[in-house]
Amino acid sequence: MAHVSIDNGNLIVEIEGLDKLWALKSRLTIPLAHVRGATADPGIAKEPKGLRSPGTHVPGIVTAGTFHVDGERVFWDVRDPAKAVVIQLADERYARLVIQVLDPRATVALVEDALPD
């Protein structure tokens, strides 16, 4: 699971618990100017993941780490798709962050409210 916060004009994604091991990351910092939006998307888990590079994918259990699909790099940290949030990025290493959070609606609101108009 991930914890999302906003600090000094940055989106901070902290990977928690054993997910740090599966995702091979513990923290992502993205300038808010590069965040295009966020949506709760429980159906995202059914989409093709692409090639792991590096990461962990055990179908129905965990998808975590960096994946390449359709020429894009996507970061995943999801065990429970019902709690998945997709954060769209521009001009970043990743095109999207697909993360599991405790409260998807609250996380989407936090990100959307922090975006510049």
pTM here is 0.95
Domains and their CATH numbers in the chain: 2-114 (2.30.29)
Per-residue pLDDT of the chain (117 residues; tens, 9 = 90+): 999 999 999 999 999 999 999 899 999 999 999 999 999 999 998 888 888 888 899 988 999 999 999 999 999 999 999 999 999 999 999 999 999 999 999 999 999 999 987
Please tell me the distance from the alpha carbon of residue 55 to that of residue 26, in angstroms, as a whole number. Answer: 13
Q: Supply φ then ψ for residue 9, to 5 degrees.
A: 75, 15
Q: State which amino acid sits at residue 80.
A: D
For position 103, what pLDDT does the model report?
Answer: 98
